């Protein structure tokens, strides 16, 4: 068995500019960070002439071409794996429709695992190759209306500033891993679970986003990068608020009355700013308090009856954590 893990991520600024249809013309930039929750993918050879895939449901098929899960089917076809394989996926926290980049984290872990399974490579996966391969598979072959930001986060890990290049250059993006300590910032961040999406992320993203709004979020990504390097939590939190106000203007379906009410209640209690992660309409609300003490107070009072999570930074991306195939 080969066991691979890839981290979930917090998307701060620049989302939408990582979509090829945007950055090929305008360029782009995103700022994101991974945290201490992971998606795991287990891959195992089986003597049985079937393909088994277990996620929210379990699929059994005679060949890979019959698999209903688009990412798994396309990845197996890409690696020319047809039978005798079982794939399972699980995560540290609930991830369906949460806006934490779980689909792309699964995709990155799957690609890294299948490369080890098929090619018997040694060492840890190469982040650049894995992120680009997983991104192209999901965006170009499967046709998901998403960008590369989530694949980059899951592959590289850490606080990541990515720049996306115009004109279809061979290397569509460059990634900078910020080395500044972010422990103080993460001590002020937490997630609050909102109701699940009533509309899928693909439905939201397929509507497109106004270029002017995206470009404002890109400029915020550059500013936020500087604020993180300075350790300016107060200004970073205020910028998160400005970014969320900007994102909400893109489509009326991005937020909901329940999300707006929770956010405004948090702001009245002293939260500096925040945003709904992912495409919108449901999932996790990321909030930035003034201090760890203020965060704990808000959690105990405003969100005492809600599901919330503290987050801690991780600097590690996709990783093969177990492989016993070399023993056979």
Lowest mean pLDDT among 57-66, 179-188, 228-237, 302-311: 179-188
SS3 track for 31-51: EEEEEEEEEEEEEEECCCCCE
In the chain, list all ranges with CATH 3.30.70.890.
183-310
Pairing relation of β-strands 58-61 and 51-54?
antiparallel
Residues 70-87, mean pLDDT to the nearest whole number: 97
DSSP letter at 97?
T
The per-residue DSSP string of 77-132 comes to HHTT--SSEEEEEEESS--TTSSS-HHHHHHHHHHHHHHHHHH---SS--HHHHHH
Choose among 109, 135, 121, 117: nearest CA to 81.
Answer: 117
Residue predicted with more confidence, 202 or 20: 20
Split at pLDDT 50, 70, 90, the class of 18 is: very high
Q: Give per-residue burial for 101-137: e unless 16+ CB within 10 Å, then b.
A: bbbbbbbbbbbbbbbbbeeeeeeebebeebbbbbbbb
Q: What is the pLDDT of residue 97?
A: 79
C-alpha separations of 276 from 92, 122, 196, 283, 295 in Å: 20, 39, 12, 7, 17
Q: What is the CATH number of domain 2-180+314-327?
A: 3.30.230.10
Across the chain, mean pLDDT equals 92
In the chain, list all ranges with CATH 3.30.230.10.
2-180+314-327
Lowest mean pLDDT among 29-33, 95-99, 140-144, 210-214: 95-99
Q: In angstroms, rounded to a whole number, what is the distance separating the alpha carbons of residues 193 and 308?
A: 6
Please say whether the beta carbons of 284 and 276 come within 8 A. yes
Return phi, psi of residue 252, to 5°.
-70, -20
Q: How does pLDDT run across 25-69, given as a tens digit for each residue?
A: 999 999 999 999 999 999 999 999 999 999 989 999 999 999 999
User: Does residue 147 have a pLDDT over 80?
Assistant: yes
Q: What is the pLDDT of residue 102?
A: 94
Choose among 128, 111, 127: nearest CA to 119.
Answer: 111
Choose among 184, 191, 285, 267: nearest CA to 232.
Answer: 184
Please say whether the beta carbons of 137 and 111 come within 8 A. yes
Residues 136-151, mean pLDDT to the nearest whole number: 94
Please say whether the beta carbons of 308 and 191 come within 8 A. yes
pLDDT over 70 percentage in the chain: 94
Widest CA span in the chain: 60
Split at pLDDT 50, 70, 90, the class of 210 is: confident
Q: In angstroms, rounded to a whole number, what is the distance separating the alpha carbons of residues 301 and 296?
A: 9
| 3-class SS of residue 93 | coil
Q: What is the CATH number of domain 183-310?
A: 3.30.70.890
pTM for this one?
Answer: 0.94
- Enumerate residues 6+ apart whose C-beta is below 8 A from 210: 250
Cα angle 143-7-258, degrees, rounded to a multiple of 5: 75
């Amino acid at each position: 068995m080969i066991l691979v893990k890839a981290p979930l991520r917090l998307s701060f600024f620049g989302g939408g500019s990582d979509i090829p249809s945007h950055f090929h013309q305008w360029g782009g930039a995103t700022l994101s960070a991974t945290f201490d929750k992971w998606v795991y993918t287990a891959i195992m050879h089986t003597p049985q002439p079937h393909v088994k895939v277990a996620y929210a449901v379990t699929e059994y098929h005679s060949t890979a071409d019959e698999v209903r899960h688009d990412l798994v089917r396309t990845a197996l076809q890409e690696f020319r794996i047809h039978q005798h394989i079982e794939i399972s996926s699980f995560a540290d926290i609930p991830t369906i429709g949460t806006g934490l980049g779980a689909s792309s984290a699964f995709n990155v872990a799957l690609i890294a695992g299948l490369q080890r399974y098929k090619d018997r490579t040694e060492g840890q996966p190469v982040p650049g190759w894995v992120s680009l391969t997983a991104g192209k598979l999901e965006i170009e072959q499967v046709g998901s209306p998403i960008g590369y930001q989530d694949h980059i986060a899951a592959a590289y890990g850490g606080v990541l500033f990515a720049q996306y290049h115009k004109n279809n250059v061979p290397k569509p993006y460059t990634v900078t891993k910020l080395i500044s300590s972010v422990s103080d910032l993460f001590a002020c961040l937490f997630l609050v679970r909102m109701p699940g999406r009533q509309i899928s992320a693909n439905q939201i993203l397929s509507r497109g986003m106004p270029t002017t709004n995206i470009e404002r979020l890109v400029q915020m990504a550059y500013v936020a990068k500087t604020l993180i390097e300075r350790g300016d939590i107060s200004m970073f939190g205020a910028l998160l608020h400005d970014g969320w106000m900007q994102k909400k203007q893109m489509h009326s379906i991005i937020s909901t009355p329940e999300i707006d009410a929770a956010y405004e209640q948090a702001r009245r209690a002293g939260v500096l700013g925040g945003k709904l992660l992912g495409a919108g309409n449901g999932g996790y609300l990321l909030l930035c308090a003034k201090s760890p003490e203020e965060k704990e107070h808000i959690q105990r009072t405003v969100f005492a009856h809600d599901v919330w999570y503290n987050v801690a930074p991780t600097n590690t991306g996709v990783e093969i954590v177990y492989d016993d195939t070399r023993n056979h």
